[in-house]
Amino acid sequence: MNICENTCKRCCTKCNTHLASVAAKLALSGAEINLLQRPKRVFTFTIPLRRDSGEIVFLNGYRVQYNDALGPTKGGIRFHQHVDLDEVNTLSFLMALKCSLAGLPFGGSKGGVEIDPYTLSQAELERLSRGYIREVHNFIGPDVDIPAPDVNTDEQIMAWMVDEYSKIKGRFTPAIITGKPLELGGSAGRVVATALGGCFILQELIKIKNLNPGNLRVAVQGFGNVGANMARILDEWGYKIVALSDQNKGFYNPQGLDVKKILHTQTKKGFLPDEFEGVEVITNQQLLTLDCDILVPAAVCCQINKENAGQIKASIVLEMANDPVLPEADVVLFSRNVDVVPDILANSGGVIVSYFEWLQNSSNDYWTEDKVFRKLAEKITKAFERVWEKSQQENCSLRLASHILAVQRILAAEKLRGNL
């Protein structure tokens, strides 16, 4: 997944806009707003990285622990050339909301390194991963702050990180990191958890609307882990997938795509095949405005804006990417009765199963994939039910309802702790 170069500025603006909406709806006090706007702990540091050539370069690293009122903070680590403190701060705030909304005993955090990982060799990537942990090991822990994969990091990087932390502490500590390989204490089902969680939510929404999956046309933007698994699962459940795209192009067939064959013929993970018979090749922007019932933005941020929001034909937008809909587009879509399932709800399946992994590591009791999926369905559908009920009570969007519930839970915990 790539990050828009302006992500941090747009995300900060978006978060401030939504926080203002929540503050107005709940009549928050100045102290409550001040608390929500401020991260609890911010770490910036320099990581020396020895390149294979022997040259040493110095990289900017970050970790923000935004709020821990509900429990230890939780959030990913991303490696990207456009990572900066503003972006990490904003994403840690969103993680705090996501964990709160899902009913998890976690606060929110996020970390990152300003580097293009595709310029690194495998050995350099390992040295960077271990170097990051050496800088933050005193400030993270299974009961303090639990990292996970994020943009451009994966289970191999998590394996190096948990190994480095365990070496420093002198004992194997699997609960320090989630998103690990199964062999090091990872959870069954973690790879598909984000996509499957979104599918569970979509099922609940179409039940409320009394819709038949077999009659619904779905367009999925993004063919990475989340987008590809969403397409595969929904295809197996009887939905008609009419469009798919990667970062370069999209495939469209109004009669439905052969998702299984596309997945079978792809030669590079995250990308569609170079050619495919019986499809119209389209752009990512064209995909967004196709005639479909369900639009799944599962690629990058800031895809739906005030310019194209009025052209969206889908009646349901399921945000599987982070921040794909800008605030001004939200207003347009809500006025047109489009149900936008917000990212902090729609893509929370990943952090929910990360919580399950943390539980399994802590108890040394590992679950079957069936148990993981059953408990994921239970937890994420309960979160959706709470959001839907709140949106009906307040006559507001699903996003505002999600933010209200998340903020209320955080503030309740802060008050019980005596911080408000």
The pLDDT of residue 89 is: 93
The pLDDT of residue 180 is: 96
CB 130 within 8 A of CB 74: no
CA dihedral sign of residues 264, 270, 273, 276: positive
**pTM, whole model, 2 decimals?**
0.90
The pLDDT of residue 13 is: 55
Quick: pLDDT tens for 24-45.
888 899 999 999 999 999 999 9
Quick: pLDDT tens for 45-103.
999 999 999 999 999 999 999 999 999 999 999 999 989 999 899 889 999 999 999 99
The pLDDT of residue 16 is: 65
In order of 193, 211, 248, the CA distances from 299 in angstroms are 16, 26, 11
Quick: pLDDT tens for 134-184.
999 999 999 999 999 988 899 999 999 999 999 999 999 999 999 999 999
| Active site residues per annotation | 110
CB 130 within 8 A of CB 60: no
The pLDDT of residue 5 is: 39
Q: In the structure, what pLDDT confidence band is assigned to residue 14 with cuts at 50, 70 and 90?
A: low
The pLDDT of residue 90 is: 87
By mean pLDDT, which of 13-17, 250-254, 285-289, 345-349 is the weakest?
13-17
Backbone angles phi, psi at 44, to 5 degrees: -125, 140
CB 169 within 8 A of CB 163: no
The pLDDT of residue 3 is: 37
In order of 63, 194, 378, the CA distances from 106 in angstroms are 16, 18, 18
By mean pLDDT, which of 15-24, 27-36, 292-301, 310-319 is the weakest?
15-24
The pLDDT of residue 171 is: 96
Q: In the structure, what pLDDT confidence band is assigned to residue 202 with cuts at 50, 70 and 90?
A: very high
The mean pLDDT value of the chain amounts to 92
- What domains are defined for the chain? 8-13+38-174 (3.40.50.10860), 193-346 (3.40.50.720)
Whether residue 196 has pLDDT greater than 50: yes
